[in-house]
Structure 1
Amino acid sequence: EKTTAHGVPHIDQSRGVVKRTFWSFITAMMISGLGYNLFSISKLYFRYPVDVTVRLLHQSELKFPAVTVCNMSPLKQSAVDAAAKQTQVLSRKKRATGIYSFTKYGENTTTEAALHDVLLLGLHMIINIDQDDYVKEVGDTAGIRMVTHPQTRMPFPEDEGITISPGHSTSIGLRQVQIGREPHPYGNCTLPELKNITRNVYEELYNVQYSTTGCQRTCYQRNVIENCGCGDPYYPMHGAAYGNTKVLACQSSNTTQDDCKYNIQQLFALKQIGCDCPDSCSDTMYTMEVSLGQWPSNVQKDTIFTKLSEKMGDRILSPDYDYESNLIKLEVYYEEFNFEQIDERPSYTTWSYMSDVGGVLGLWIGFSLMTVFEFIE
């Protein structure tokens, strides 16, 4: 009789069958509406929805990314000839990766000064791809493959990079994009600072952070080792991710091994191999604006020849050296110190859910936390 909840006191205090039936019907309707409302908001809450916010921020200093440069030719003819002279069997060889890492830019006060200093302090390289030393059978494309990536992440030029051809001055303006994702239960990302060498062999071998690509390659290699009894020589074959077992590389001359590896590749490409490789909860990417110009210019060829001859020592370039086919001028710099930050945030938090539950309880039956103690009393 003393409870503040609506409906129940009216049923108890009603005199006569008609009034009691009326209030019983109204109370039942209100409880039905309450149940539907509670079901709706609970269904929304347990979906764990997120909102995505995009912000453009400014920072006086931005950490410069690592820059990985790879020659498009996986082998050198001189190395092949040397190996042949030593009667060594030339196995399939992975393209070598050179990594140039830089730390930070200096502080700048104005946008104009910042852009000017970035252009001066960015990465500048002249690269000789030595196309005359390409192996004819595998050198179908001349140039380099370049990737910009965080210094703590393993580069994968075949998947992430851009191709730069010789005979040009290539300027690459970078813009940083920071991505933040919500972990369980709002998402299925993994914290990059948590080491998991059984999921990503590159973390163990190169002391880098987790990446989805590294995890997928580890998963692929694990399936090759388990099913074929050998490892794909293009990827690491030893580590905790493979149970620290030592295996030999699959031989193309061994039909059984080669066919087995090919079948795993096809299953992996068709996504028929289950790999537990979630996205990283925090990641940094770089968008690139690429511009090209002729290099070297006709009037600067002699000057550039002199400077390169001084730096190359015993590999002095001849005056008729084919610049256009072998040399690349590369500039990498930040276009500006603004960066884009993309974050996931829970759009329906626990506190919001509790507030909505309290609201519908009060709306439909006038129920609150105080009412609970009234019933207990």
Structure 2
Amino acid sequence: MDLEMSTKSTSKLQQLNNASENVDAARTNKERAVHRLDKFGDNSSFSAAVYEFKSKSIIKRLLWGLIVILAIAGFCYITAQSINMLIEEPISTSITEMRQRELEFPAVTVCSLSFLDTTVLKDFSNEQYNNEDLANRLANLFAAGGPPNVPPLTECISIANEITSNTGFDIGFGNLILDVAKNDPIGLIEQCSFQGNNCTNDLEIVNTISGVCFTFNGLKKTAKPHKVQGTGVLNGLRLQIRNGDQEFSLNSNYGFNVIVHNRDEPPRPESEGVVVGLGSSLNVGMQQVTSAVKTQFYSGQDCVTNLDNPSNNLTFSEYSSYSRSLCLNDCFYTHIANECQCVEKKFYTPVRSPYTEMKDCGSTDICCEVYTFETFKDSCNCPLKCETIDRTLTTSSATHSLNNGPNAGSMVGINVYYESLVTEVRETTDSYTPWSLISDIGGNTGLFLGFTLLTMGEVLLLVLGLCTDCCCFSCKKRWNRKQLTV
């Protein structure tokens, strides 16, 4: 009896197993997907899914399907726009103004535009060249080397060889600037006053590739920077300069170039400054601008900080701190050294190999230097400092009356002062960051799809389940057995 009952039970189990296998074989992928979608519609917080998958009306299903497709398309379009904005790395700048009780006065460098002194050239004059003829030949030398359409500097080299052979004068660029130019430009100053006090002792001579200049409030001469507590001409720098009677200009310009720069930056008269002509006076009003780049992501790669210490990578620099002017000078000097295979050690001293082993530029190299100087294109990679102090300049000029004295036409007046003690602070930050993108995507999913993080998790599980139904046979079999036991 027991054996018979056991046999019947075994037979029933086999029948159940056979029925399960038959059901599994009969169930199609579509039926399993529909079952999973129905279950998702019953339990999901995605409201559209209820109408999409539970409604018995085909029209409602089609309508809600269209709405879902449009919502997904809108979400994808807006998200693509947000990603594109992030790729463009936009930044924003906020400007605030702060009144200061005192401000540090910048360095002011003055360079003569007509730096050749023909009286010095008389030592090299002879029967063929007097001092003025020699000056004219030198001017032709610079003109010949300048235009880029001159064939490989043949005209410049011909003039240079002619001058050297007829006069014995070494026309190296350094000799022209330092020996033939006025060696003491400070001697041209009739008056120098700062806040009403004599400032002649605060001037230092600076050698630049544009000539011998002088600087007020520079690092070498003035240990502590001058500071001002007031505005206007009386609280600034006042200069009266006379032009030399025997000066000659290589570029047919007469007057002075005024460069306002930070004390830890070199002057760049070849590319910066305000020009004042002879017989004129120049007023330069300043307002200090402090710029800070506080970008956390992409734009922050475009600036450097003092901690980066990029000045250690410069080849020609006497300054311990970094500035963009130092970097531009270094780029320019390096370009000349590479092109002419020499270094103007009278102007700048190389601190890195192989430039330390290069020869000093002489008369045979002046044509290459002049040509390189005129054809140089600024393609230097010189990032800004993340925190910089600069000044906006407001200039005005007036012409002296010829009735003011016999030398009025050769005098130049220069006034440099602060117009206001209000400092403009500009802070640059990222206007769109990856966190902004994440936030926008979250808002867009809520607006277009009604999604939350929980809903997205449910959809993810649904997708994984559908993939399992279609691709994993063993998972299908376990799913069918589970349904049969229920």
- TM-score, length of structure 2 as denominator length: 0.57
Asked whether 1:103 is paired with 2:226, we answer: yes
Q: Which residue in 2 is equivalent to 1:313? A: none
Cα deviation, residue 68, structure 1:
0.8
Choose from 410, 416, 419 the match for 1:335: 419
Match of 1:311 in 2: none
Tell me if 1:365 matches 2:449: yes
- Indicate which of 127, 141, 153 corresponds to 2:265: 153
Relative to total residues, which structure has the larger helix share, 1 or 2?
A: 2
Partner of 1:304: none
SS in 1 for 2:104: coil
Give percent identity, aligned residues only.
Answer: 23
Q: TM-score, normalised by structure 1?
A: 0.71
SS at match of 2:298: coil
Which one of the candidate residues 56, 65, 80 is aligned to 2:106? 65
Given that residues 98 and 422 in structure 2 are in contact (C-alpha distance below 8 angstroms), is that contact kept between their aligned partners in structure 1? yes
Q: How far is 1:122 from its partner? A: 1.3
Q: Which amino acid aligns with 2:380?
A: C
Aligned equivalent of 2:357 = 246
**Larger RCO (alpha carbons 8 Å, 6+ apart):** 1
Measured after TM superposition, the shift of residue 253 of structure 1 is: 3.3
Looking at structure 2, the residues matched to 291 and 266 of structure 1 have their Cα atoms a distance apart, in angstroms, of: 29
Greater Rg by CA: 2
Does the 8 Å contact 1:69/1:145 carry over to 2?
A: yes
Deviations 1:187-240 (A, max 9, x none): 7632263432376445x32335321x5434433433333344234679636233
| Separation in structure 2 between the aligned mates of residue 253 and residue 374 of structure 1, nearest angstrom | 80
Q: Report the Cα offset of residue 175 of structure 1.
A: 2.6
Task: Measure, in 1, the Cα distance between the counterparts of 2:402 and 2:409.
Answer: 11
CA distance in 1, matches of 2:401, 2:359: 45
Amino acid at match of 1:154: P
- For 1:339 and 1:365, the matched residues in 2 are separated by 49
Residue 393 of structure 2 corresponds to which residue in structure 1? 287
Deviation (angstroms), 1:39: 1.2
Match 2:438 to one of 344, 354, 368:
354
Match of 1:268 among 339, 352, 376: 376
Secondary structure of the corresponding residue to residue 39 of structure 1: helix
Partner of 2:80: 39
| Structure 1 unpaired stretches of 5+ | 107-113, 302-321
- Residues 103-160 of structure 1, C-alpha deviation per residue, up to 9 Å, x if partnerless? 3213xxxxxxx44xx433311233344x1352x4648444322111122222212221
Structure 1's 328 and 28: CA in aligned 2 closer, same or farther, altered over 3 A? closer
CA shift digits 1:280-314 (9 cap, x unpaired)? 4444133123243648984xx7xxxxxxxxxxxxx
In the alignment, does 2:241 pair up with 1:127?
yes
Between the two proteins, the alignment pairs up a number of residues equal to 334
- 2:436 is matched by which residue type in structure 1? S
The CA deviation at 1:360 is 0.9
Structure 2 residue matching 1:160: 3-state secondary structure: coil
**What is the alpha-carbon distance in structure 1 between the residues aligned to residue 100 and residue 49 of structure 2?**
61
- The answer to whether the Cα contact below 8 Å between 2:311 and 2:321 also exists between their aligned partners in 1 is no
User: Could you say which residue in structure 1 is the equivalent of 2:382?
Assistant: 277
Q: Secondary structure at the match of 1:253?
A: helix
Secondary structure class of the residue paired with 2:270: helix
Partners in 1 of 2:260 and 2:326 — Cα distance? 16
Unaligned runs of at least 5 residues, structure 2: 1-39, 126-167, 178-208, 218-224, 462-486
1:59-100 Cα shifts (integer Å, max 9, x gaps): 33222111111233334456556789xx87352224123221
Matches within 5 A, 1:7-86: 7-15=48-56, 23-77=64-118, 80=121
Partner residue, 1:3: 44
Q: Distance in 2 between matches of 1:265 and 1:190?
A: 28
C-alpha RMSD of the superposition: 3.9
The answer as to whether partners of 2:255 and 2:275 remain within 8 angstroms in 1 is yes
